[in-house]
Amino acid sequence: MSDLGEFALIARYFERSQHPLPTQVVLGIGDDCALLQPTPGMQWAISSDMLVSGRHFFADVNPRTLGHKALAVNLSDLAACGARPVGFTLALSLPDADPAWLQGFSQGLFALADAHHCPLVGGDTTRGPLNICITVFGETPPGQALLRSGARAGDDIWVSGTLGDAALALHCLWGRDQLPAEALALARQRLEQPTPRVALGQALRGIATAAADVSDGLLGDLGHILERSRVGAELEALDAINLLAARAHITGASGTFDPHSQADSTALRYVLSGGDDYELVFTAALESRLQVESAATGCGTRVTRIGRIVRDPGVTVKAPDGSALHGPWASFDHFAT
Ligand code: ADP
Ligand code: MG
């Protein structure tokens, strides 16, 4: 990184010596290792996510929103486990040290980091194709992490927030779909600045039986829960389709679900298969409905019940008349396309 120098770049954009560190961070940026000490009795929850230019984002995307998203997708993994964020590392490969880009990127990154009291504690910086890899460290009481393996037949299936709008925005940016300007701006916000459900994840400890975050699409990520828990699922198409915030703009807001309408099938496909929403999909026992709702209200996050866990493997999507739907729903797989 010769234009600015690797160390000058780190010092200018990533080292923030004036910021107080949480007690778990004994030593942050500046030495060969960061030193972390979990709160006594707690367990580490650790996750990494890599964002590659041209694969996970457009190379010319606003660097501020990219900084936000790079951390958001990692915090979303902590949320899915019910863990509390402690800190993160950033491995950054950059084609050049562009001050405007670095300024925007670090602002977006730190705005979200500060909102979650999750400081940057170390990393690596090198020249190369634009690539961002973050590892987050969180903590959770032993035995209380939300796992994918705990769903049981009879449990409700819940989803936080809205689903499908990020994929819809992406299709609009690709020129494969259309939305009025105002609706596109909202959908694009969902794509570029997802909200990790960190508070909700922690509030669901001891209530949810299983959880995952929706990064690759609802069917895919719910599928991980089903596989790990050795169960199946029945989803209600009408409840699912209403998760698409932009639904009114592509269906004419019929208020119900018409399996023969092209627009409704398209909307349902965004909800079931679209990726990049970073909401939580989780399961909980029937008796826990009130607890789920009050946990969600406490975090100011909407949650919706969209179906139930069944004993037999596989997923059935049901029309309002109870009949099973068959659609071209495949979850997004980076190696399949
Ligand atoms: P080393 O060569 O020993 O791996 P470096 O010289 O690469 O260390 O980094 C110097 C210090 O700056 C280290 O504390 C490292 O964690 C930190 N650092 C390097 N790049 C970044 C980055 N992109 N974000 C945060 N900290 C970084
Ligand atoms: Mg290095």
77 known member of a binding site: yes
State if residue 29 touches ligand 1 by the CB under 6 angstroms criterion. yes
Q: Determine the pLDDT at residue 103.
A: 97
Flag whether pLDDT at 94 surpasses 70.
Answer: yes
Give me the pLDDT at residue 256, please: 85
Res 48 pLDDT > 70 = yes
- Residue 214, pLDDT score: 97
**Ligand with an atom nearest the CA of residue 33:** 1
Task: Indicate if ligand 1 lies below 6 Å from the C-beta of 33.
Answer: no
Mean of all residue pLDDT scores within the chain: 93
- Residues 70 and 223: their CA atoms lie apart, in Å, by 24
Note the Cα 262 to chain centre separation in Å. 28
pLDDT recorded at residue 262: 85
pLDDT at 208 over 90: yes
pLDDT(259) > 90? no
**Confidence tier at 223 by pLDDT (50, 70, 90):** very high
- Does the pLDDT of residue 293 top 90, yes or no? yes
The confidence score (pLDDT) of residue 337 equals 42
Q: Does pLDDT of 219 surpass 60? A: yes
- Most informative mutation of 124, 126, 130 for ligand 1 (most atoms within 8 A of CB): 124
Ranking 65-74, 119-128, 327-336 by mean pLDDT, the lowest is: 327-336
Ordered structural domains, the chain, with CATH:
6-140 (3.30.1330.10), 156-325 (3.90.650.10)
CB atoms within 10 A of CB 131: 17
Q: Please name the residue whose Cα sits nearest to atom 11 of ligand 1.
A: 30
Higher pLDDT among residues 261 and 159, named by residue:
159
70 lines ligand 1 (CB under 6 A): no
Residue identifier of the C-alpha nearest atom 24 of ligand 1 = 123
Quick one: average pLDDT of 179-200? 96
Return the pLDDT at 255.
75
> Residue whose CA is closest, atom 16 of ligand 1?
122
